[in-house]
Amino acid sequence: MRDHKTVLDYIRTIPDFPHAGIMFRDVTTLFADPRGFRLAVDQLLAPYVGQRIDMVVGLEARGFILGGAVAHQLGKGFVPIRKKGKLPGATISEDYVLEYGQATVEIHDDALAAGQKVLLVDDLLATGGTAEAGIKLIERLGAEVAGCAFVVDLPDLGGRKRLERMGIEVHALCVFGGA
């Protein structure tokens, strides 16, 4: 008998984490299952096969896991966007707003070349703040975002609309309503 699971079947929901009222979508169970992980990676890259993608960029931290695997499958290099202070060498940074405060992400100032087509990868799209900051960093280096790929989209938090208003194509493997 064939296994017909979807990516959604591998993601567990943990209620009230990190605080009451939040339904946390935990992709570590997806990563831990070889079939689930392969399914996610294959589906993340599928829309981009045959398109010009020069580099894959992943957002810290789960975007590193997914982005590295997607880059490998596409035969492309991988570039991390990290939290402030984690990258050695010269960087550029971008601030973004969190629910309770502000954060900063960075990329090496020589990580991308002008004109490169970049696929941005992360596990989850919520408000879109981190992804928007990543897009701005990519564009500041002169590269172009060919698309953003996520495992989970939480559309009620507005991230997809935010990125689409920027003219960015969003690809998500599954959708969860609510927060």
Active site residues: 62, 99
| 170-175 β-sheet, strand order | 91-98, 101-108, 77-83, 55-59, 117-125, 144-153, 170-175
Asked if residues 171 and 115 have their Cβ atoms less than 8 Å apart, the reply is no
3-state secondary structure of 149: strand
3-state secondary structure of 76: coil
Between β-strands 55-59 and 117-125, what pairing exists: parallel, antiparallel or unpaired? parallel
175 alpha-carbon distance from chain centroid: 14
Q: Which residues of 50-83 are buried (b: 16+ CB within 10 A; e: fewer)?
A: eeebbbbbbbbebbbbbbbbbbebbebebbbbbe
Place of tokens 């500041």: 140
